[in-house]
Amino acid sequence: MKIKTQNIYLILIGVFMLNLISCQKESSDVTEEVWTTVEKRMTTWKERDKNGQLKIYHPNFRRWKNDTLQTKETFIGDWTFTDMQINDIQIEKREIQFFTEANLSVAHYKVKETLEWIGDDFQEDDFKRDNGQVWTEDYLVSDYYIKEGERWLYIGGVVK
């Protein structure tokens, strides 16, 4: 009888370990799905791919821009840069939080953009840009994504 009890314990431990390994792999896969969406959001931003960017946005997207709470349509309304272009974007991944019951994730990361002034020389008060001038800007970003079907969609966030 003792042998059967030990076998049952070994089987239960084995099932538990397989379940644990399976959950870790699933968690890793889901984390990678979110980072892939973050990278796509940044790539479409850099390439000024408005349609690609809009495909990532959830219909109920909201985010502050200055003192106005923007929707998907109003936020993307100012899409074209006429005087500058983004030469490079680097993402430093920090952490993703998951809120499984709501299929919600929050991706925290840093962004470093390298920009180039391609317009005419410009000066207004203390702000000055010369044609060809290159500079970098750093941002701290927390993006909120909600999973619908097989896709993670950008529903809002904070950039500072």
User: In this structure, which amino acid lies at residue 4?
Assistant: K
**H or E stretch at 34:** helix 2-46
Category of 50 on φ-ψ map: left (φ > 0), alpha (ψ -120 to 50) or beta? alpha
For the cut 90, the answer to whether the pLDDT of residue 29 exceeds it is: no
The model's pLDDT over 102-137, given as tens digits with 9 standing for 90+, comes to 799 999 999 999 999 999 999 999 999 999 999 999
Structure tokens at 81: 């840069």
Mean pLDDT over all residues of the chain?
A: 84
Q: Residue 101 has what DSSP assignment? A: G
For the cut 80, the answer to whether the pLDDT of residue 18 exceeds it is: no
For the cut 60, the answer to whether the pLDDT of residue 1 exceeds it is: no
Which residues in 2-14 are b (16+ Cβ under 10 Å) and which e?
Answer: eeeeeeeeeeeee
**What pLDDT band is residue 23 in, cutting at 50, 70 and 90?**
very low
pLDDT-wise least confident of 72-76, 94-98, 113-117: 72-76
Q: How far is it, in rounded angstroms, from Cα 157 to Cα 145?
A: 9
Distinct helix (H) and strand (E) counts, the chain? 3, 8
